[in-house]
Structures are given as C-alpha cells and as structure tokens.
Amino acid sequence: MQFLSDNAAPVHPRVWDALRAADGADAPYDNDALSQRLDAAFAELFGRPCAALWVASGTAANALALAALVDPHGAVICHRDAHIEQDECGAPGFFTHGAKLMLVEGADARIAPEAVVQLMGSIRRDVHRVWPQALSVTQASEAGTVYRPKELTALGACARDHGLKLHVDGARFANAVAFLKCPPAEAAGPADALSFGCIKNGAMGAEALVLFDPALADLVRYRRKRAGHLQSKGRFLAAQLLAMLEGDLWLENAAHANAAAAELAAALPGRLLHPVEANEVFVRLSPAEREALRAQGFGFYDWGANGARFVTAWNARSADVAALARALAAL
C-alpha cells in the first residue's frame, strides 16, 4: 500500500505493448519513424505548431528548456518550492551555464502575476544586475494545485510584458488537464516550452520536451546531444510517448490517480495543507499519527515536522485507497 511516489509505479501495459512493437530494427537516434512522428502528434494535441523531443527525465526536459530560453547571464523566475529549485541538484545552473533562479513566494506553490511584477520592479536594469528572461511555473504545482487557464493567460501576459519567456514544468501536466477538463493548450497557457511528463503517469523513461517556438528546436537538438540525452535507440522513447497519447491514455491514467487523491482528501478535509487538485495529498499529521499509519502498512513521505505527503499513481488500487481513506478518517 505505497503512496510514496508516482515514480515508483509500474509501466502501463499499453506502454509495454508499444515498446515491444518498436523492437524492429530502425534508424538510430531520432531518425526512426516513431521519433519523426512526435512533432505532428504534439502539434495536433496542442493545436499549434511545435517541436517535440523525447528525453529521459523531467530534469533534462526542464533544464534543456530553460537553457534555450535564457542567457548564461540571465535568470529564471520560479517559485521557492519549484522542483527546478529544490530537487534537480542545480541542473538549470549546469545547462544554462550559470543563470540564476530567482525565487518568489505564493500560496500553494503557485505564482501570482503580482509577485512577478514586484520582483521585476525591484531589479535595476543595468550590467551589474542579473536580469530575468523567463518565468517557470509548474502545472500541476509542487503542492498538488492547478493553475486555471485564465490564471495562465494572466501570467503569460505578465511575462510577455516583462520580456519573459514562459516555461511550464509539466511533470504532472496530465493530472492538471484531467482536473481542469479543458483542452491541453489552455492548461499550458501561452507557454514557450513545456516539459510534458509521462514517467510518473505510466511510462518507463520518456518525457516530451515541447517547444512551441520551433526556432528553438534546432538549438535544443544540439544541446540534447551535447548533454548525452540523444539516446541511440530513441525509438523506444518515442514509442512510449506515442502510446501515452494514443487514445488519451495520458488523461485516463491521470484521471484515475486524481480520483484516488480526491478520495483521500475527502477523508480528512480539515487536515489538508493544500487544496487537492491533482494526485498529491498533503496532510497535517503528527509523528504519532504517521507512525500509526505506517504500522498499518501505508508507505508515504513525511512532510515537515507535522505533515505527510501521499501520492496516488495511475495504478492506484481501489482497495488500497479506500483502506487509507478509512485509516485517515479514523485519526
């Protein structure tokens, strides 16, 4: 009864099928037929031209995107709790050759335009200061919350007004779209680059880096190779991405995970640290309560001194979820 991480979940059967189907000989790197289909598949999904490149991790997708959007002497504005700040061992600093992350606050790990305006207003524009060139938001956020389309529109306008490119870290983008029940393009807002997550959602080892400015794609293709991320049997990564899109498997999986999280949230509404809008549930729990739950066989991470994080995955079993909901309600 593991609620530790959606990274721990298995690979979806339809992804396995696609992997096996990709196992004929084909051209190496991204010259195979499957990789060549990605741009069109994602352009159809988002209703606008784009380039879509497979990479093996969300960190790689994010860092490659940011490096395409800012200069080494530039900066990316992000939330203090952003994955790119907290959990990537400085990958953005490596890929951008030293650009800064500038941190803003915001409830539930989300950024409001006012925070961007305030930060930009505090920076004197001269050669001594680092000047931000991009805004990065996470959809769904690190607190399991979701930006509404109109919020993204406002953030995008704010970014544009300040000369900032917009990056969306979509490690759990599927969960956001499943929550919003809107077209994917609206859930991405006016993004210039989107890290479209699949691994937490049933893939094995492939994320899509979607570049809505195709002019960036050539640059990123070089940088992907240079970062050791151009795998020689790339067809297996492309196969995973296409399987996720096929028949909207990505949305089906995410909806399942979201529903499980909602069930957990309903069990203990007064204890929620953040609204539950995706597949993460952050709950106020004392150490004793955590111990009691673990004694019952539930796996999860502590979240600070008096909290816990439960993550539901595409394969969450009803019985496990119901059991945890009961255990939470009984606290």
What are the residues binding a copy of itself (CB under 8 A)? 2, 4-5, 7-11, 16, 19-20, 23-29, 55-61, 63-64, 71-73, 75, 86-91, 93-101, 127-130, 199-200, 204-205, 219, 221-233, 236-237
Task: Kindly tell me which of 46 and 236 has the beta carbon lying closer to a copy of itself.
Answer: 236
Task: Kindly tell me which of 47 and 98 has the beta carbon lying closer to a copy of itself.
Answer: 98
CA distance 228 to 233: 13
Task: Kindly tell me which of 102 and 135 has the beta carbon lying closer to a copy of itself.
Answer: 102
Task: List the beta bridge partners of residue 103.
Answer: 78
In the complex, minimum distance from the CB of residue 330 to a copy of itself, in angstroms, rounded to a whole number: 25
In the complex, minimum distance from the CB of residue 212 to a copy of itself, in angstroms, rounded to a whole number: 21
- Residues in the chain, total: 331
Instruction: Taking each helix axis as running N to C, give the angle between helix 318-329 and helix 249-267, from 0 to 180 degrees, rounded to the nearest 10.
Output: 20
In the complex, minimum distance from the CB of residue 303 to a copy of itself, in angstroms, rounded to a whole number: 12
In the complex, minimum distance from the CB of residue 331 to a copy of itself, in angstroms, rounded to a whole number: 25
Q: What is the DSSP letter of 40?
A: H
Task: Kindly tell me which of 89 and 288 has the beta carbon lying closer to a copy of itself.
Answer: 89
CA distance 257 to 312: 5
Q: What is the DSSP letter of 74?
A: E
In the complex, minimum distance from the CB of residue 269 to a copy of itself, in angstroms, rounded to a whole number: 28
User: Cis peptide before 140, with omega less than 30 degrees from 0?
Assistant: yes
Task: List the beta bridge partners of residue 211.
Answer: 51, 193
Task: Kindly tell me which of 215 and 232 has the beta carbon lying closer to a copy of itself.
Answer: 232
In the complex, minimum distance from the CB of residue 321 to a copy of itself, in angstroms, rounded to a whole number: 15
CB 234 within 8 A of CB 158: no
In the complex, minimum distance from the CB of residue 226 to a copy of itself, in angstroms, rounded to a whole number: 4
CA distance 177 to 182: 6
Task: Kindly tell me which of 190 and 205 has the beta carbon lying closer to a copy of itself.
Answer: 205
User: Rounded to a whole number, what is the largest CA-CA distance in the chain?
Assistant: 59
In the complex, minimum distance from the CB of residue 140 to a copy of itself, in angstroms, rounded to a whole number: 17
The count of other CB atoms within 10 Å of the CB of residue 214 is 12
CB 179 within 8 A of CB 257: no
Task: Kindly tell me which of 211 and 237 has the beta carbon lying closer to a copy of itself.
Answer: 237
Helix (H, G, I), strand (E, B) or coil at 20: helix
Task: Kindly tell me which of 95 and 179 has the beta carbon lying closer to a copy of itself.
Answer: 95
CA distance 284 to 165: 36
